[in-house]
Structure 1
Amino acid sequence: MRILHFLTISVAGLFLIGCKSPYLARENRPITYTINAGLPEDTSIVSYYAPFKTAMESEMNRQIGFSERFLNKSRTEPEFLVGNFFADALLEIGKKIDPTVEMSFSTKGGIRSELQQGSVTVGSIFELMPFENTITILEIKGSDLLILADFIASTGGQPIGGFSIMIKDDHLESIRLHGKTIDPEKSYKLVTYDYLANGGDNVKGLSNPLKRINTPILVREGLIEYVEQLTKENKKINTQLDGRIAIIK
C-alpha cells in the first residue's frame, strides 16, 4: 500500500509538471494615467470635502489682530522684528503658565514666515509656526544659561525675550537679565518649545534642566490667543527693534 501511495503521488507530480500552470508569472506592463485640468471632476468627492474646505478657509481667514508694520524675518541679522514678536509672545504665554518665568528662547529656523502689515489672521499664525511644537518651560542653572547664551552668540543671534546679549567675534561678551549679570549657581526659568528643549537645531545648554514642565499647548495656539488678547485690549502689534541682541566690534 505504501508503494502504491508513493507511485500515485509521483505520477500526479509528473502530471502537474507536464501541464501548463495557470499561475506562471506574467509580464507587468505599467499603465500611465495623465492627470491634468482636462479630467472631469468627481462630483461625489467634491461634494464630500467641500464643506470641510469652506469651514477651513473661513477659519484661516478669520482676522484676530492688526500689525502696524511689516515684521521681517532674517537669517543674518542678530535681531529682527518677527523674531522679537515671536519671543515676546512666547514669554507672555510662559508667564500665564508660570508667573516666575523670566525669559524666552526660539531659533531663527523655527520661525517660518514674516508677518505682513495690516490684518493678522489665523492663517498668518499658521504660516508663522506650522509645526506641532508645544510650549515647554525649563528651569536651568545659571551655568547652563551661559552655555545657551554662548550658543546664541556663536550662531549670530537668535530670537530671545526678557534678557539681552552682547556679541563680539561670535562669542558671548555679556548677558543681562533685568540689568544684572547671571549667577552660575542660581536657577532661572525659561520658556521655549519641546523641539528645542529636546535638542533640536543643535541647541546647547538646555539638555540638563533642573525641572521641566511639558504642556499640551501648541505654540501657534498660544500665539493666536496672544494676538486675540491684544485685540481685546484695543492694542495692535507694534513690535520694535530694541537692541536685545547687539554685535559690538
Structure 2
Amino acid sequence: MRTIPRFVFFWLISLGILVMVQGCAWMGQLSGEGQSNPGEQTAGDDAGQHGAGLQGGGQLGVGQLGVGQLGSGEQGSGAEMRPATPSDPTILSVIEPYRDHYNNELSQPISILKAPARFAKPEGSLGNLVADALRYRAAEELRKYVHIGVIDEGSFRLHLDEGPITLGEMLEFMPYENHLTILELPGSSVKQLADEIAALGGGPISGMRFQIRDDRATALLVDAEPIEEPQRYLVATSSWIANGGGPFTALHNPISREDLTMVAIRDLYIDYLRDRDPLEPTTDGRIR
C-alpha cells in the first residue's frame, strides 16, 4: 500500500495553516467592519509584512505563505503567491504549534555525506548520485533491469555539502513536483542521447560509459556492452525531461513510456539517501 508522498504531507500542513490564518483574518475583518475612519491605516494595509512562510533552509517562519513557496508545482511552472494576512497575537498562537512541528520535521537529518557532492564536467559525484538513484528506483518499481538513468543538472538547485543532509535541504535541492518516468528507446536513440550529453561536455548519467571526442561520444558501452541497433533500452528520467523540458531530444520519441506518478522525484532522492546512510559520493570514469 502506497503512502502519501512527503511533499503532499507538508503541502497539506501548510495549506491548513493558511486556511486557519485566512479564516481568523476574515472573522477579524467582520468584527471590525465599519469601525475604521477614512484615511486611517487598517490592519489590511500591512499585508505583505506578516504571516507564515517558508524561509531559507526550509524553515517555516514569519513571512508570506504561498503554495508556490513550498516547491509545489511541476518544474517550469510558475506558482502564484497568496496575499499575506495581518499579524495578530491570536493568529500567531494558533500557528505556533504547527510551525514548530513543521520546522522540526524539516530539520531532521536523513543521511550523512562522507564527502561533498558536486556537479562537474564531464562527470561529477553529484551527477552520478542523482542518475544512479533514478535507475535504481526505476528497476525497483518495474522489477526488471533498467539500462540507463539520465537527468539534467538544471533540475536541481543546490550542491550537497559534506555532513548531515536534512529534509529541508532536500526540499530546496529538488523543489519541483516531477515524477519518475521510464522510456523505452531503440539503440539509435541511445547513441543520439550519448552524443547530446557529449556535446554538453558531460552530465548526470548512469549505466552508460563513453569517451568524449570532438563533442561526440565514442567507445560507448551500456551494461558493459556495445550498443546494438535492434535492442531496446529502458531509460529512467524525470517527467520534466521526458516532456521535452531538458536538452535531450533523443528522448522525445520513445517506443513506449511509463509514468510512475506516485513516485515523486524528490521522494525518490530522499529514500535513496536514507537507504545509504552514510553515503560517499564518488566518480568512476563513466564519462572521460
Q: TM-score range by the shorter chain?
A: 0.7 to 0.9
Matches within 5 A, 1:192-207: 192-207=237-252
| 1:57 CA displacement | 1.1
1:47 maps to which residue?
93
One-letter amino acid of the counterpart of residue 67, structure 1: L
State the partner residue of 1:145.
190
TM score, norm. by length of structure 2? 0.67
Distance 2:257 2:280 in 1: 32
Return the index of the structure with the highest Cα Rg: 1
Instruction: Give how far 1:137 is off.
Output: 0.8
How much has 1:81 moved relative to structure 2? 1.4
Task: Determine the C-alpha separation between the residues in 1 that align with 2:127 and 2:169.
Answer: 15
The answer to whether the 8 Å contact 2:242/2:251 transfers is yes
Q: Which residue of 2 aligns with 1:238?
A: 280
Which moved further from structure 2: 43-52 or 83-92?
43-52
Where in structure 1 are there 5+ consecutive unaligned residues?
1-28
- After superposition, residues 8-157 of structure 1 pair within 5 angstroms as 41-74=87-120, 77-98=121-142, 99-157=144-202
**Superposition TM-score, scaled by structure 1 size:** 0.77
Which amino acid in 2 is paired with 1:153? A
| Partner of residue 233, structure 2 | 188
State whether residues 73 and 113 of structure 1, in contact with CA within 8 Å, keep that contact through their aligned partners in structure 2: no
Asked if the contact 1:83/1:111 (under 8 Å) is kept, the reply is no
Instruction: Report the alpha carbon displacement of residue 88 of structure 1 after superposing the two structures with TM.
Output: 1.4
- What is the CA distance between 1:244 and its match in structure 2? 0.9
1:173 aligns with 2:208: no
Deviates more, 1:40-49 or 1:137-146: 40-49
* Identity across matched positions, percent: 31
Letter in 1 for 2:280: N
Q: What is the alpha-carbon root mean square deviation over aligned residues?
A: 2.2
Unaligned stretches of 5+ in structure 2? 1-38, 51-85
Name the structure 2 match of 1:11: none
Is residue 2:257 matched to residue 1:212?
yes
Q: 1:36 to 1:218 in 2, by over 3 A?
A: closer
Cα contact 1:146–1:184 (8 A) shared by 2: no
Of the structure 1 ranges 190-199 and 203-212, higher mean CA displacement relative to structure 2 is found in 203-212
1:191-226 residue CA offsets vs partner (Å, 9 max, x unmatched): 101000011123211111112110121111111111
Q: What SS does structure 1 have at the residue aligned with 2:96?
A: helix
The answer for the alignment partner of 1:9 in structure 2 is none
Give the number of equivalent residue pairs. Answer: 209
Q: Compute the displacement of 1:179 (Å).
A: 2.0
8 A contact 1:139–1:187 mirrored in 2: yes
Higher-RCO chain (CA-CA 8 Å, sequence separation at least 6): 1
Instruction: Note the alpha carbon deviations across 1:158-179, whole angstroms, 9 max, x for none.
Output: 1001111211121222311122
**Counterpart residue identity of residue 143, structure 1:** S
Q: Aligned partners of 1:55, 1:83: CA distance in 2, in Å?
A: 33
Q: Could you tell me how far apart the structure 2 residues matched to 1:213 and 1:149 are?
A: 22
Once residues 53 and 169 of structure 1 are traced to their aligned partners in structure 2, the CA distance between those partners, rounded to angstroms, is: 54
Q: Distance in 2 between matches of 1:123 and 1:174?
A: 41
SS in 1 for 2:229: coil
TM superposition shift of 1:114: 0.9
Deviation by residue 1:20-44 (Cα, 9 ceiling, x = unmatched): xxxxxxxxx9x9957769xx94213
Secondary structure of 1:69's match?
A: coil
Aligned partners of 2:180, 2:228: CA distance in 1, in Å? 26
